[in-house]
Amino acid sequence: MAAERPASWSRAQRLLHWAIAALVLLAAPLGVYMVALPFRQLLLKFLLYQLHKTIGITVFVLALSQLALHWRRGRPAWVEGLPDWQRRAASAVHAVLFGLLCVTPILGYLTAATAPARIPTLFLGVIPVPHIVGTDSAWFDVLRQIQSVAQRVPRRLSLVDRREIERRKRHA
């Protein structure tokens, strides 16, 4: 990690941040839509699943890159006068979100790999990604539930964070 804190986020850190945010905001509604799509539109459903998987793999790689850059370069100093509880809350939320950015794509990959249907994962729609685990309907059901919970955590965190900030402002 950098010995001295940088004055601001680097251009690469900002670019990675917004690229990840855009991809996550695209993947979330895409995931809901592709699951709800009827099987009579099987080709479209297949293509949307592959797009969703490609986005997940890309987010995973970008998040790891962002973490490596963050570790190497460091973060800018906190805003002057920011209360200690807000620093701790921001650090905790940041850690949870980065955890989710890494764990959720892994859960998605494992869910796809254990699915009874044996549908291949094709990065960019053409590059086969081997499934390192075999199909297993029991694991598939468990992983699908865990992934569903993991996908709801960011929304819950944002609500809790806003409520806590408002509560502290009222009592300050």
Domain boundaries, the chain: 11-171
pLDDT tens across the length of the chain (172 residues): 556 778 888 899 999 999 999 999 999 889 889 989 999 999 999 999 999 999 999 999 999 999 999 888 888 888 888 888 888 888 888 898 899 899 989 998 998 889 888 889 999 989 999 988 888 888 888 888 888 787 777 666 665 556 656 666 665 5
- By CB neighbour count within 10 A (0-12 exposed, 13-18 middle, 19+ buried), where does 63 fall? buried
Closest CA to 108 of 127, 123, 96, 95: 123
Q: In the prediction, which pLDDT does 157 show?
A: 63
Compute the radius of gyration of the chain from its Cα atoms: 19
